[in-house]
Amino acid sequence: MQTQLAKGVQLTTVPSHQFKTNQIILNFRAPIKRADITKRALLANLLETSSADYPDQRALAHALAGMYGAAFGAGVSRKGPTHNLQLAITVPNERYLATDEPLTLQAIDFLAAIIFKPLVKDGHFDEPTFKRQVTNLKASIQSVDDDKQYYAAQKLNAALFAADEAQQIPSYGLAADLDQLTSSDLYAYYQTLLADDQINIIVMGDFDDAAVVARWQALGFKDRLAARPAAFYHHENAGQYTETSEIQALSQAKLNLGYDFPVFYRGQHYYAALVFNELFGGSPLSKLFMNVREKASLAYYASSSLDTFRGVLKVSAGIDGQNHDQVLQIIADQLTAIQQGDFTDDLVDQLKLGLINDFESSLDSQRTFAIQALIDDLTQQTVSDEDWLEQVQAVTREQIIEVSELVTLNNGFFLSGGQHASN
């Protein structure tokens, strides 16, 4: 059931007797702006670790323990042109406990205290807490450089979205931005977020629906004046391949490729794209895995992934640096093979079965239901489980070939140990 708490504030309750916990997820959504990304990531850290009622992690832990071991967390993510700051709490369903305490309602009150009563003094976030979380976030961001696979992926992202700086930056922001932030500036931005961000709340589990709706309504959310964020970002096709490279001290080179792929979530060609990706590099039966990694032994790993909120396809491969040119060519050959119909119907059936098995397994996850409800609200689309399965089953080899022809290689990033440097 959906309830509009205010303009731009949507509550979705999802009754389910499948799980022994109840989960509440609250998303603050806004169009991605370069100046705000790091602020939002730091806010997630602050909200997760302190509030006026729970000024430190010990107090927070005590409150969660009082709700029979509830789990609480905060984080940030992106979907296309939208940045999400998310708070989530999971509580045991009191019907399975020897208690009459309304734990789900207590969890709502807990989230309200976190959101509306942050740890603030004289118009700024508590200074010691603010500085501690700046240090923690900076260390977390800087540690990403130690993960060379992730580092290469971010470098590819910067090239792939060169025309839009906000799309280049990771959802958790940049360490350099933290040096410019003050506790008063961040608190002022938080007031803007509370007033302007679209809010989507999901409550899922076995609970008294009317009581849950009434508790959220009592919080008095105000109308949002800003428009809903757009669901999709349309990547600009460069129409030609450009590669950048970097040399670091490492034993395994990383080759990351970015393709323009104008297929969007639940839009035209979407289901064919899912099967195509499994065939290209998204599964152990894929051409990249079987031919680049297994048969030719040219990669330690090789896989592809879709971003159907930004219209791109990405390939990542861990290789011996001296094999760069050969790997680049054999990856291109796999795409060409698909475009020419060089795959069997039996393989397509196996790939569909893998997608279906993964989809059905995900239905056992409470969080999957909640995330899907959030995506449905963002895209303003709903597809039943049965329809999803039918759409995947209905994909033909002709549709796979057709969608593969939409793929255009745009950018590459090559991180090597010095054995090879690309021009």
Does pLDDT of 423 surpass 70?
no
Residue-level pLDDT at 421: 42
Q: How confident is the model at residue 145 (pLDDT cuts 50, 70, 90)?
A: confident
Distance CA 298, CA 333 (A): 14
- Give every CB contact of residue 88 below 8 A, 6+ residues apart in sequence: 23, 24, 25, 26, 72, 73, 74, 370
The DSSP bridge pattern shows strands 312-319 and 253-260 to be: antiparallel
Percentage of the chain with pLDDT > 70? 99
Asked if the structure places residue 237 within a domain, the reply is no
Provide the edge-to-edge strand list for the sheet that holds 242-247: 242-247, 408-416, 253-260, 312-319, 299-307
* Residues 385, 336 contacting (CB under 8 angstroms): no
Q: And the tokens for 417?
A: 């140990």
Q: And the tokens for 312?
A: 């791109």
Does pLDDT of 98 surpass 80?
no
Does pLDDT of 292 surpass 60?
yes
Asked if the structure places residue 279 within a domain, the reply is yes
* Alpha-carbon distances, residue 76 vs 43, 128, 199 (angstroms): 9, 23, 14
Asked if the structure places residue 223 within a domain, the reply is no
**Per residue in 159-170, pLDDT tens?**
999 999 999 999
Looking at the structure, do residues 121 and 173 belong to the same domain, yes or no?
yes
Distance CA 315, CA 331 (A): 9
* Residues 204, 14 contacting (CB under 8 angstroms): yes
Domain residue limits at 194: 2-217
Across the chain, mean pLDDT equals 94
* C-alpha torsion angle, residues 12, 13, 16, 19 (rounded to 10): 90
Looking at the structure, do residues 248 and 211 belong to the same domain, yes or no?
no
Distance CA 149, CA 378 (A): 30
Q: And the tokens for 320?
A: 């011996």
State the DSSP code for 95.
G
Residue-level pLDDT at 422: 40
Looking at the structure, do residues 252 and 392 belong to the same domain, yes or no?
yes
Looking at the structure, do residues 96 and 148 belong to the same domain, yes or no?
yes
Does pLDDT of 15 surpass 90?
no
Looking at the structure, do residues 176 and 256 belong to the same domain, yes or no?
no
Looking at the structure, do residues 130 and 252 belong to the same domain, yes or no?
no
- Amino acid found at 384: S
Where would I find the beta strands (DSSP E) of 107-220?
Answer: 120-121, 124-125, 198-205
Looking at the structure, do residues 247 and 153 belong to the same domain, yes or no?
no
Residue-level pLDDT at 144: 83
Does pLDDT of 303 surpass 50?
yes
Distance CA 20, CA 11 (A): 21
| Triad 292, 296, 300: Cα angle to 5° | 55
Place of tokens 């501690």: 132
Asked if the structure places residue 236 within a domain, the reply is no
Does pLDDT of 99 surpass 90?
no
Q: What are phi and psi of 15, to 5 degrees?
A: -65, 135
* Alpha-carbon distances, residue 31 vs 80, 116, 167, 382 (angstroms): 9, 22, 11, 22
Looking at the structure, do residues 115 and 148 belong to the same domain, yes or no?
yes
Asked if the structure places residue 209 within a domain, the reply is yes
Residue-level pLDDT at 414: 97
Does pLDDT of 142 surpass 50?
yes
Where would I find the beta strands (DSSP E) of 96-173?
Answer: 120-121, 124-125
Distance CA 51, CA 119 (A): 4
Looking at the structure, do residues 88 and 200 belong to the same domain, yes or no?
yes
Look up the CATH number of the domain holding residue 366.
3.30.830.10
Query: Which domain-ending residue is among 174, 200, 217?
Result: 217
Does pLDDT of 259 surpass 70?
yes
Query: Which domain-ending residue is among 184, 217, 250?
Result: 217
Q: What is the average per-residue pLDDT within 104-132?
A: 96
Q: And the tokens for 384?
A: 């039943």
Asked if the structure places residue 226 within a domain, the reply is no
Looking at the structure, do residues 207 and 249 belong to the same domain, yes or no?
no
Asked if the structure places residue 100 within a domain, the reply is yes
Looking at the structure, do residues 52 and 200 belong to the same domain, yes or no?
yes
Domain count, the chain: 2
Pick the more confident residue, 140 or 419.
140
Q: What is the average per-residue pLDDT within 276-303?
A: 93
Residue-level pLDDT at 65: 95
Looking at the structure, do residues 270 and 385 belong to the same domain, yes or no?
yes
Q: What is the average per-residue pLDDT within 285-295?
A: 92
**Per residue in 171-218, pLDDT tens?**
999 999 999 999 999 999 999 999 999 999 999 999 999 999 999 999
Where would I find the beta strands (DSSP E) of 157-230?
Answer: 198-205
Element (H, E) at 247: strand 242-247
Asked if the structure places residue 22 within a domain, the reply is yes
- Amino acid found at 420: H
* Alpha-carbon distances, residue 177 vs 38, 44, 84, 147, 380 (angstroms): 7, 15, 19, 21, 34
Does pLDDT of 372 surpass 90?
no
